[in-house]
């Protein structure tokens, strides 16, 4: 993969993210999402898990707990002395139908986060979202 191809892939992924603050519960505790896409979520909590950790839990959406399973793909550590929360990215491997439908309904009403393309130029990419399967 060339650097340009990699950059376009990141731009495409960012264009599909939506800012949604939702409660996430797992056997290891609770956290909140920062953003959610059809492929995964960024969560914020004091203690992050190691990259590669498989995780299962529920995301509270529209008054009910919707199940998901995924893998931690990246982390940024927090600092409890500074009351700074850590963040981690979770790539979904499996999501319940209620989560897929709830996210589809919510994200259809929200505009994707804007991403600059063409080397930081002024054009904004609004790449279409792919459907849940």
pLDDT in tens, 20-64: 899 999 988 899 999 887 789 999 998 899 999 999 999 998 888
CATH fold of the domain at 3-125 = Thrombin, subunit H (2.40.10)
Beta bridge partners of 26: 29, 57
pTM of this prediction exceeds 0.75: no
What tens digit of pLDDT does each residue of 64-100 get? Answer: 888 999 999 999 998 888 888 999 999 999 998 888 8
Specify burial of residue 121 (Cβ count, 10 A radius: 0-12, 13-18, 19+).
exposed
């Amino acid at each position: 993969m060339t650097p340009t191809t990699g950059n376009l892939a990141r731009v495409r992924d960012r264009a599909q993210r939506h800012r949604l603050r939702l409660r996430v519960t797992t056997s290891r505790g609770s956290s909140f999402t920062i953003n959610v896409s059809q492929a995964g979520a960024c969560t914020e909590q004091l203690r992050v898990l190691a990259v590669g950790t498989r995780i299962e839990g529920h995301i509270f959406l529209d008054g009910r707990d919707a199940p998901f399973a995924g893998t931690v793909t990246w982390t940024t550590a927090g600092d409890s002395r500074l009351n700074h929360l850590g963040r981690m990215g979770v790539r979904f491997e499996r999501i319940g139908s209620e989560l897929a439908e709830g996210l589809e309904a919510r994200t259809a009403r929200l505009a994707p986060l804007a991403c600059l393309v063409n080397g930081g130029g002024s054009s904004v990419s609004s790449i279409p979202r792919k459907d849940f399967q």
